[in-house]
């Protein structure tokens, strides 16, 4: 018997690493980390050759490494265990648990006629067919009684055996299907807990039947694992997250600049809550307090706004030095071992000034929710011309003669005062007062002319760091733009 929990995460490499899969991986990992003897195993379920792609395998492994979900065993590939799957099939056949079937879907539908009850009708159970190029192997399920799944989250879930059809375990080609392959591997790995999404709950009674049958034919009484089926993840409409409509790819959140600790913190809250109800929870506390029995069975809302809020809190908790380092893939990707795959930095390597960015970073750190927001926030520092928001410029400068007059006055005033943020601040107040404008309205056209937008880091510190010559040059360029 294993002395600690042995859990496995067994994804299929058929697409991007879904956030639901990331949550399942995390909950398995948390259970394993609660015991020194715990073991977290990664097994790639790659037996569906028509749908699997090697880049999806790499994506799973890379995303899990980014999240910090370190492995104790693996990654293994289910396809490497084909011999064990075939042996299990033969043992079950010889033990009387399987039978050959040559029915096609059309055959079954024709026999049923108007009877729309789903599933196979058991036609070949007593036909004693021999193996052939057209026969698959089906498992003989009990026709009476119930199978009870003892679920740590949902309690006892009963399945009437008469509703479980004689399911196929191996194709006519001999290829063993997921249900038997999965159970064979779980038994051989001595898995103690099966933690997965609730969509797999209907598979549980079939897997329990296979497990019991393999125990019987092998003489190896491997204890059935404990089951925990995690709640569904839903969107704002409380509908299941859609791969086509919802942002579900874990890799995309890394590209956007979410910190791995923040993402893990948020994933842990999807169906589970720490004591006290805090949102920002250290990983050590999550490991200590996590219990499968405390996971809710109600659907969990994947709230990107809440995730962004949590990520912003993590960013602000970083030291300035760590924040600068964390920004590197987004502001100077040419110096980074990893870089986002979905964007390009809006300046050339020669235009980027690391020393200037280090001065600006504290101003930005307080205002971004993700690292991916940083380049737009600081682009005006490293561009020859301000990257202009045309709509903002038209509204704030081009269509406002008073704003243009203020810019003209600012050109004169900024050319004579000491170049320091407090002096710039005071000068702008005075320029605005002379024209009947409060500070907010006085600084808006200056910000737009210099930075190209109406949002960004504190204006007067930004002007100081950008330098007198560039600021005045951009103020004049904005006035010229109005005349063009």
User: What is the domain-level CATH number for residue 415?
Assistant: 1.10.10.350
How far is it, in rounded angstroms, from Cα 295 to Cα 154? 9
Q: What is the per-residue pLDDT across 222-251, written as a single tens digit (0 to 9) for each?
A: 999 999 999 999 999 999 998 888 899 999
β 98-101/136-139 pair status: antiparallel
Quick check: is 82 in a domain?
no
Quick check: is 407 in a domain?
yes
Average pLDDT over residues 275-294: 95
Cα maximum dimension of the chain: 101
Q: Which two tokens stand for residue 267?
A: 């994933």
Quick check: is 141 in a domain?
no
Say how many domains are in the chain: 1
Quick check: is 334 in a domain?
no
Q: Nearest to residue 415, comparing CAs of 431, 402, 400, 439?
A: 431
Quick check: is 476 in a domain?
yes
The torsion region of residue 467 among left (phi > 0), alpha (psi -120 to 50) and beta comes to left
Please tell me the pTM assigned to this model: 0.93
Average pLDDT over residues 9-23: 94
Quick check: is 443 in a domain?
yes
How far is it, in rounded angstroms, from Cα 269 to Cα 273? 6
Helices (H), 270-400: 283-289, 304-317, 320-331, 354-365, 374-378, 390-393
* 116 given a catalytic annotation: no
Quick check: is 88 in a domain?
no
List the domain range (segments joined by +) for residue 409: 390-483
Please pick, among 240, 243, 245, 306, the residue that the annotation labels catalytic: 243
Quick check: is 98 in a domain?
no
Q: What is the per-residue pLDDT across 124-171, written as a single tens digit (0 to 9) for each?
A: 999 999 999 999 999 999 999 999 999 999 999 999 999 999 999 999
403 pLDDT higher than 90: yes
| pLDDT at res. 105 | 87
Q: What is the per-residue pLDDT across 30-81, written as a single tens digit (0 to 9) for each?
A: 999 999 999 999 999 988 777 888 899 999 999 999 999 999 999 999 999 9
Q: Which residues contact 219 (CB under 8 A, 6 or more apart)?
A: none
| pLDDT at res. 2 | 55
């Amino acid at each position: 018997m294993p002395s600690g929990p042995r859990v496995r995460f067994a994804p299929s490499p058929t697409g991007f690493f879904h956030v639901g899969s990331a949550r399942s991986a995390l909950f398995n990992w948390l259970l394993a980390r609660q015991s020194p003897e715990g073991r977290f195993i990664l097994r790639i379920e790659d037996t569906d050759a028509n749908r699997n792609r090697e880049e999806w395998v790499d994506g799973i492994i890379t995303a899990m490494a980014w999240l910090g979900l370190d492995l104790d065993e693996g990654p293994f590939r289910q396809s490497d265990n084909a011999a064990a799957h075939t042996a299990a099939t033969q043992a079950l056949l010889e033990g009387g648990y399987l039978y050959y079937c040559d029915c096609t879907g059309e055959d079954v539908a024709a026999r049923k006629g108007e009877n729309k009850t789903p599933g196979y009708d058991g036609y070949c159970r007593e036909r004693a067919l021999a193996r052939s190029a057209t026969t698959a192997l089906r498992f003989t399920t009990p026709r009476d009684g119930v199978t009870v799944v003892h679920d740590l989250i949902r309690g006892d879930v009963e399945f009437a055996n008469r509703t479980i059809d004689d399911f196929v375990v191996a194709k006519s080609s001999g290829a063993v299907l997921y249900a038997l392959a999965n159970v064979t591997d779980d038994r051989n790995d001595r898995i103690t807990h099966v933690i997965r999404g609730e969509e797999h709950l209907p598979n549980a009674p079939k897997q329990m039947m296979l497990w019991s049958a393999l125990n019987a034919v092998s003489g190896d009484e491997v204890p059935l694992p404990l089951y925990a089926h995690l709640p569904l993840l839903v969107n704002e409409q409380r509908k299941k997250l859609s791969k086509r409509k919802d942002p579900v790819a874990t890799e995309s959140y890394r590209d956007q600049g979410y910190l791995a600790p923040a993402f893990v913190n948020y994933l842990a809250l999807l169906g589970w809550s720490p004591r006290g109800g805090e949102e920002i929870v250290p990983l050590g506390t999550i490991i200590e307090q996590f219990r499968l029995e405390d996971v809710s069975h109600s659907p969990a809302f994947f709230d990107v706004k809440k995730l962004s809020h949590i990520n912003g809190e993590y960013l602000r908790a970083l030291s300035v030095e760590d924040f600068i380092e964390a920004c590197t893939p987004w502001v100077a990707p040419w110096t980074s071992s990893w870089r986002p795959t979905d964007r390009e930095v809006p300046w050339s390597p020669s235009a980027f000034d690391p020393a200037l960015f280090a001065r600006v970073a504290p101003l930005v750190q307080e205002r971004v929710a993700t690292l991916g927001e940083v380049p737009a926030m600081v682009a005006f520092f490293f561009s020859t011309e301000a990257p202009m928001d045309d709509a903002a410029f038209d509204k704030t400068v081009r269509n406002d003669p008073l704003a243009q007059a203020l810019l003209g006055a600012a050109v004169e005033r900024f050319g004579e005062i000491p170049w320091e943020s407090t002096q710039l601040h005071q000068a702008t107040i005075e320029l605005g007062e002379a024209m009947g404008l409060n500070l907010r309205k006085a600084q808006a056209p200056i910000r737009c002319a210099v930075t190209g937008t109406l949002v960004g880091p504190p204006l007067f510190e930004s002007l100081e760091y950008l330098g007198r010559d560039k600021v005045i040059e951009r103020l004049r360029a904005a006035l010229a733009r109005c005349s063009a």
